[in-house]
Chain A
Amino acid sequence: MTTTDTTAAVGAVFGQRDPDARGYFGAYGGRFVPETLVAPVAELEEAYLAARADSAFRQELVILLDRVVGRPTPMYEAGRWSEQLGGARVFLKREDLAHTGAHKINNALGQALLAVRMGKRRVVAETGAGQHGVATATACALLGLACEVYMGAEDMARQALNVVRMRLLGAKVTGVDAGRRTLKDAINEAMRDWVTNVYDTYYLLGSVLGPHPYPLMVREFQSVIGREARRQILDLTGQLPAAVVACVGGGSNALGIFDGFVDDAQVRLIGVEAGGEALVSGRHAARFATGAVGVLQGTRSIILQDLHGNIEPTHSVSAGLDYAAVGPEHAWLRDLGRAEYTWVSDDQALQAFQRVARLEGIIPALESAHALAHVETVAAGCDPRAVLLVNLSGRGDKDVEIARDRGFGVDPAAAGGASGSESKA
């Protein structure tokens, strides 16, 4: 495709599935922000709607996606893994091969361009696993914006590699010591910064969360994944996938790929949440399994909370899924019956992480490994001619220390003859 064709394609996607005028997807979404942020959020909406309607903005974005991100990312048939699963043909949408190593860059570049267009000089962002922080730091370096990233102290420890990457890229990384010191606490602190510096600062939120227009805007910047994937899978197989599977933290990689197939009613859309250690309060992040409707950080959605409305602590082996709320559009898609949601445990995700590395030569992010783990279940009951599509949303370099600490990637001799996967089984 030429850049002009792609620009037109981007334009064709924008504005096709907007929430209502108040930013609601069904009963979810809206704008639950402190008074000081009401006007800035409205200003952001206005700026975004104008930008997405402007072909010059879209072309600038497409050029960056082509030449900086390296899009389109490949569609890869995981032959050896599929064979072992014994059912369907499994295809991987290789967002791990996007510049900076995850899908996050698609959104970061889109919003950073918007920040420049709005005349903002400074960007703040939150990050969990650090992938959004790295993507934001990259976009800011590229476009000459000052950048400060808030990251929970717990996440800084478990994703130390990404902290160094952000600092190398010129971002200031500020640790957050509140709460469980993870993604939710980082978002609180980023919002506190934004409300204090709102005139010159742009808040670059990393997922389909927060007040309207963020859930819409982030999904539209990520929809390039689904648009490419639909074309690629049809080119390669001549058919639509039976199911599209993606992990769901806030849910931006999932909505990005679902967007390409949401009108294809025969395609199952499956989101996979973090089941953590057990479905017990504080030990997982499976919002659809045990959550309830509530308001957190600007949006109404399904949230892990106690009977008194306090947000429950969460756990996942993957920092990017370790969050108490799910994006509002996911809650709506579930209500509509259009998407279904399930969870896999820390251990299941780690097993899939190991298997895909050994069988395909790909070390996936632990977030993405949750989707891979669930595909193993789906494939087991499938017709061998069926096609399954997984969004491999990020690469796993950041996770190798966690895997090693859990007994994977250890020399079999040094580990007393038991491989990690066997000792964990």
Chain B
Amino acid sequence: MKGKTTNFGVFVNGLLKENPVLRLVLGTCPTLAITTAVFNGLGMGIAATFVLICSNMVISALRKLIPAQVRLPAFIVIIASFVTLVHMLIKAYVPALNDALGVYLPLITVNCIILGRAEMFASKNGVLKSALDGLGMGLGFTIVLVLMSAVRELVGAGTLLGFQIMPEAVSPLTVAILPPGGFFVFGCFMALAIFLETKMGNKPNVNLQCGACPSADNCPAKGVGEA
């Protein structure tokens, strides 16, 4: 968090440099699970962004009142309230999305992006900045979800938002909407994010080196690409 004092800097941070999914590797579970269709990705992204902004603001406003010892339960209660709100609204107005997201909608409560931002940012910064941070992180999350689900839906089902894009004669590569395809697309997007950052002249802080991996000792590619 050093040096990023401008409000704009806080907002932009979540888009690429500290993109929650691609650079902080948070929220991986919903990312892999629901990015099988653009509709789901978009719905999930918007729901999570709403919860993120609201919970960041409330936690930031209450940060001096919440005792440090019980901060995690307190954060979760605040987050859970907003998730319940979103869940009820979606159930009432967009039941199709509720059916598509299934258990992943209430599970936004334990989405590590939201808890992570509460712990890392909102509990240390003012309300405006926390709201901007939530907006930036939420947008970063949504953009990645939409892009990933667009790739997976197009390749895996030949459609976009349910509309047939590929010619019918081309059978879709179904594996893309199966779990292994999710991991492959995810990995490619992570590489792309690091590539973009290097292109923009920033030195990406690759903190996920081989030391963090439990299989590193047995890996033939250990240390490849590390400075």
Please determine whether chains A and B interact with each other in the same assembly. Answer: no
